[in-house]
């Protein structure tokens, strides 16, 4: 029993000595690795902020690339930091690259969605279906593009909400870009009574439309009777506007047509319900 106890104490002391040797051997490496990680993280964030500010100051530089390139710089810096940390433990560069390749393959299989977002972000930047400042809509979201990053894009809705959309979602769905072209068509209908003069109504509408800022003379506005409905004549009006003035002009035009019709005695028919009160005599 005594011999077993002495053997146990001897083995324990040997293990403690081995652990002590390892701590002494790698203590400075661990401390150095921690310092490199902390400094690397701070420097990567600093470089990202500097890149954003510097790229934003370049005249004519595409704002769509700003977020993407700044994040690329950040993650590239962190990758270099990781290699330096592994180097603290005596791992050779070739071994590091091989390990990173294996890790990258494993992560790629586990995070296919994330890699799809990166690939989609690259395609969005190359093909440019939209740029920062464009108003776009898809089947699920709509808003003004504020930033395109490595993984996501940020939109701001008309009512001030911020939407973060994965790049793969935008890439895999049809996108309507309301800001890409310089002009847009406004098409609206208005109903008038059968007793009103059609040509007089057309002239009144034309005077309102042509007086608006941003309305194009070429192609000319088009007016025609779209339908002879049960209780009204349906007039169709089409005209082209500069894209920057579309929302203001389209809303203002419809409003002013209503005011002008009221002022000139042109009625807009609408359904009415008439109640007849029956009087029962005793």
- Summarize the confidence of residues 249-260 as an average pLDDT: 95
pLDDT tens digits, 255-266:
999 999 999 999
pLDDT of 102 strictly over 80: no
- Summarize the confidence of residues 226-241 as an average pLDDT: 94
- Nearest Cα residue to 68 out of 170, 149, 146, 154: 149
User: Tokens at residue 28, please?
Assistant: 């400075």
Distance of CA 51 to the CA centre of its chain: 21
- Model pTM score: 0.59
Question: With contact defined as beta carbons under 8 Å apart, do 77 and 40 qualify?
Answer: yes
Instruction: Domains for the chain: give ranges and CATH numbers.
Output: 2-110 (1.10.287.1260), 128-177 (2.30.30.60), 183-263 (3.30.70.100)
- Confidence category of residue 56, pLDDT binned at 50, 70, 90: confident
User: Tokens at residue 12, please?
Assistant: 């324990």
Q: What is the C-alpha radius of gyration for the chain, rounded to an integer number of angstroms?
A: 35
Question: With contact defined as beta carbons under 8 Å apart, do 237 and 223 qualify?
Answer: yes
pLDDT for residue 93: 57
- Summarize the confidence of residues 177-186 as an average pLDDT: 92
Instruction: Identify the helix (H) or strand (E) that includes residue 74.
Output: helix 63-87
Partners of 233 in the beta sheet? 192, 228
- Confidence category of residue 101, pLDDT binned at 50, 70, 90: low
């Amino acid at each position: 029993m005594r011999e077993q106890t002495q053997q146990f104490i001897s083995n324990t002391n040997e293990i403690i000595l081995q652990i002590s040797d390892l701590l002494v051997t790698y203590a400075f490496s661990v401390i150095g690795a921690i310092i490199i990680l902390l400094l690397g993280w701070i420097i990567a964030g600093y470089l990202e902020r500097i890149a954003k500010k510097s790229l934003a100051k370049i005249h004519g530089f595409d704002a769509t690339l700003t977020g993407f390139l700044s994040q690329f710089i950040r993650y590239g810096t962190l990758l270099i930091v990781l290699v330096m940390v592994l180097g603290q433990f005596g791992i050779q560069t070739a071994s590091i690259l091989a390990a990173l390749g294996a890790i990258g393959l494993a992560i790629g299989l586990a995070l296919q969605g994330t890699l799809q977002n990166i690939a989609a972000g690259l395609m969005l930047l190359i093909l440019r279906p939209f740029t920062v400042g464009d108003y776009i809509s898809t089947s699920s979201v709509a808003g003004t593009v504020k930033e395109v990053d490595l993984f996501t894009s940020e939109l701001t809705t008309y009512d001030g909400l911020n939407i973060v959309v994965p790049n793969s979602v935008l890439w895999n769905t049809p996108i309507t870009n309301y800001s890409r072209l310089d002009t847009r068509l406004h098409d609206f209908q208005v109903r008038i009574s059968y007793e009103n003069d059609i040509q007089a109504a057309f002239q009144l509408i034309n005077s309102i439309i042509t007086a608006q800022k941003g309305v194009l003379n070429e192609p000319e506005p088009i007016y025609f009777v779209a339908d002879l409905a049960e209780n009204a004549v349906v007039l169709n009006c089409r005209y082209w506007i500069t894209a920057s003035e579309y929302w203001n002009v389209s809303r203002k035009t419809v409003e002013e047509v209503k005011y002008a019709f009221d002022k000139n005695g042109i009625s807009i028919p609408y359904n009415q319900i008439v109640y007849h009160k029956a009087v029962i005599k005793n």
